Structure 1
Amino acid sequence: MTANILFAAGEAQWRVYEAPLRRALARAGVTATLATDLAPAEVDYIVYAPGSAVQDFTPFTRARAVLNLWAGVEKIVGNPTLRIPLARMVDHGLTRGMVEWVTGHVLRHHLGMDTHILHQDGVWRPDVPPLAPDRRVSVLGLGALGSECARMLSHLGFPVTGWSRSPKEIGTLRCLSGEDGLRTALAQADILVLLLPLTPETENLLDAARLATLPSGAVILNPGRGPLIDDAALLAALDSGALGHATLDVFREEPLPPEHPFWAHPRVTVTPHIASETRPETAAQVIAENIRRGEAGEPLLHLVDRDAGY
């Protein structure tokens, strides 16, 4: 039997993903029709990305699952017409990219690299940074990305505290949850990494009150979602010197407008949503495996909890 797969992620993505998807489906042993223009009533699986022209899922009467190309699902999870399983992207290429970005920027701030890069002015500054065991790191969000970043930082010797909305156990990692746990994670974060999903409960999680909980001079890294932070509160904390720096990869509006104050702020580093990107070759393998599972009657991977929002 042939599985009919609708690629509903836009023309630009189709040009990038078509060949990897066809290769991955063949390797997975899935016989499939993969196209961008299938009749809705004939579709078995929908490969999806935010911004797709498909917003009403009602006509897809025989579809078994929507397979999201990105890790974030906040733009689709609340769609009232979507009543079939939704799988988010958990891809080892995406995870590896996030681990590298987070580790690189934690080390950058830990070692004070900016001081030496930005001040090649002939002044000898022999300030020696502490060793990793003396620099506390907290990671908010312990999903696939957050847990791997926390493990890597712990392996490098940083004392890492992880926090998630629901209790987690990850090896020997210190894992906290709940409001008391959040206060503790913030209060002990010389470097704070945000890797939470965006939900109504996490929007503006870092408001003025919670930012004030961080140690003086703390650094924030946000490769998660822009609206996790109250922008005005963040700028105020940076202006006052309460926070040392913010390295931001995600924003409420993207691309970040040229006039936005983040661009010119001396204590802000902007990176253009590059911390982790879905890689077509590895993401295609995840999509193909889920379709193989669906055709074989096996449980799908990485299903979204609609109540939790991720």
Structure 2
Amino acid sequence: MRILLHRADGVTEPWVRDFAELLPEAEVVVWQEGASIAPCDYAVLWMPPEALLAELAQVKAIFLTGAGADAILKYGDALPPVPIIRLGDAGMAIQMAEYVTYFVLRYFRRFDDYEQQARSGTWAQLAQHRKEDFSIGVMGMGVLGMGVIDALLPFGFPVRGWSRSPKQVDGVQCFSGAESLGEFLSGTRVLVCMLPLTPDTHNLLDRARLSLLPQGAYLINVARGGHVAEPDLLALVRSGHIAGAALDVFSEEPLPAAHPFWDEPRIGITPHISALTIRTESIRQMAGKIRALENGEPVADVVDRTRGY
């Protein structure tokens, strides 16, 4: 069995080492542009360059080292008609829940305001937000989205969820479909975006939809930068309609030095770290699925190409 490995960051040695331990029956071949590579049975990659696509012609399945599929589905019909399998949780759900919970509590408890006061030497207690008025809306109710919802529920916030298809979750007010998006947004004080990026969700959070959020709302985006129309968000923050945002993802990454987000103190910036891939857990998951495929067994987390996730 041969596995073709590509890492955009060039760090392949730890992956080769862990595959040797967790799937010793496999030979791992690191892709290098221009190098001659014998046909491989499986591919493990994330953001492959177009030049790599020719090496996928004979693979039985493509494994992604992340939860999203937009970085490979952009190649459309150039991809072979084989299963594309994304990571399940693989340790990402707890990280995402930690990130979102931190920024929710930071905004709710006004820690950003207190930090600003401290820098100016001001000692003053600020009025607290009312928890019953502090509704949190999570867009995207998959494995990662539900991890965030489960983390937030014990704090007693009103939690709302929006998804493409109808869902029922105890303790959560659920909305689904385009027809309910306006109602969902208009009642959401903190909006958490955890959607997959598809043609339907690209620039979904533009000026019109972000303006539906109540005055003083807050945005947390841990999904993809393409969901947010960045100039529209910046304008709404500067106007005061949106109090601020915590952004981990951007339309261009790394975020360019000249991007105006850097100069807006009400927008928190992190470098796409809300949920980092845990290598060993990811390889363990892929090894199990490869063995299942070799035995003709079904596997979970196969990407639906028509939906884009």
Q: TM-score scaled to structure 1, two decimals? A: 0.91
**Matching of residues 104-119 of structure 1 within 5 Å:** 104-119=102-117
CA change 1:124–1:78 in 2 (3 A) is closer
**Distance of 1:250 and 1:7 partners within structure 2:** 25
State whether structure 2 residue 212 is matched by structure 1 residue 223.
Answer: no
Shift of 1:197: 0.9
Determine what percentage of the aligned residue pairs are the same residue: 36
2:28 alignment partner in structure 1:
34
| Letter matched to residue 295 of structure 2 | A
1:72 pairs with 2:71: no
Quote the residue 1:139 is aligned against: 138
Distance 1:290 1:14 in 2: 21
Q: Is the 8 A contact 2:153 2:171 kept in 1?
A: no
> 1:8-23 to 2 correspondence within 5 Å?
8-10=6-8, 12-23=10-21
Residue aligning to 2:41: 44
Shift of 1:281: 1.3
1:40, distance to aligned residue in structure 2 (A): 5.9
Cα displacement (A) at 1:52 = 4.1
Number of residues paired by the alignment? 303
Where 2:162 maps in the other structure, the secondary structure is strand
1:43–1:60 CA contact under 8 A, matched in 2 = no
Matches of 1:40 and 1:309 in 2, distance apart?
29
- Number of the residue aligned with 1:102: 100
Q: Distance in 1 between matches of 2:301 and 2:56?
A: 24
What residue in structure 1 maps to residue 204 of structure 2? 205
What 5-or-longer segments of structure 2 have no aligned partner?
A: none
Aligned to 1:302: 301
Q: CA deviation at 1:140?
A: 0.6
Task: State how far apart, in whole Å, the 2-side matches of 1:241 and 1:117 are.
Answer: 19
2:192 and 2:164 map into 1 onto residues whose CA distance is 15
Please, which runs of 5 or more residues in structure 1 have no aligned partner?
none
Distance, in Å, in 1 between the alignment partners of 2:60 and 2:113 is: 54
Paired letter, 1:181:
S
The secondary structure found in structure 1 opposite 2:145 is helix
Residue number in structure 2 paired with 1:194? 193
Question: In 1, distance between residues paired with 2:105 and 2:9?
Answer: 38
TM-score between the two structures when normalised by the length of structure 2: 0.91
Bigger mean CA offset, 69-78 vs 245-254: 69-78
How much is the aligned-residue C-alpha RMSD, in angstroms?
2.0
Give the corresponding residue for 1:5: 3
